[in-house]
Structure 1
Amino acid sequence: MAKKLKWNDLGTGGRILVVLTAGLQFGLLGAAWTDLARRRESEVNGPRWAWALAALVNVVGPIAYFARGRRH
């Protein structure tokens, strides 16, 4: 079994990667939820609550919402 890495075990590059990835995740999540809240029900493919939950799935959820969840 692989040893779990702790924050102190990471080098500078690893720490920067973790912070950038977390920033990307939270940025996309915030953008997806904001867009979802501002759209009318008729402009969303499927139920809003489902897209709000799907957006919580790492980076994939918000990207899926922007790709498939909105009607243009």
Structure 2
Amino acid sequence: MASRKWSDMNGGQKFGTVAGGIVQLVLAGLAWSDLAHRPAKKVNGPKGVWAAVISINFAGPIAYFLAGRKN
């Protein structure tokens, strides 16, 4: 599939792209903030690995919130 240029998108597609990017950044920011403030003993695995995992699109922050934190 060929990549599309911004100018080729209609208004709804542009809005969806921007909204998706904002949601992704907010999720990653929340996950990184939580990771930074959470003691290492309350994290499943090394914090450095989770910091890298969080940077993977939507899947990383969601994986951290589901599997990376101990209660």
> Which ranges in structure 2 are unaligned for 5 or more consecutive residues?
none
> Which ranges in structure 1 are unaligned for 5 or more consecutive residues?
none
CA RMSD of aligned residues (A): 0.7
Give the whole-Å Cα distance in 1 for the aligned partners of 2:2 and 2:38. 45
Q: Is the counterpart of residue 59 in structure 1 residue 67 in structure 2? A: no
User: Percent same amino acid at aligned positions?
Assistant: 41
Task: Give the number of equivalent residue pairs.
Answer: 71
Which residues in structure 2 correspond to 1:1-72 (within 5 Å)?
2-72=1-71
* TM-score (norm. length: structure 1): 0.96
Give the whole-Å Cα distance in 2 for the aligned partners of 1:60 and 1:4. 22
What amino acid sits opposite 2:30 in the alignment?
A: A
**SS of residue matched to 2:44:** coil
Q: Which stretches of structure 1, 4 residues or longer, exceed 2 Å deviation after superposition?
A: none
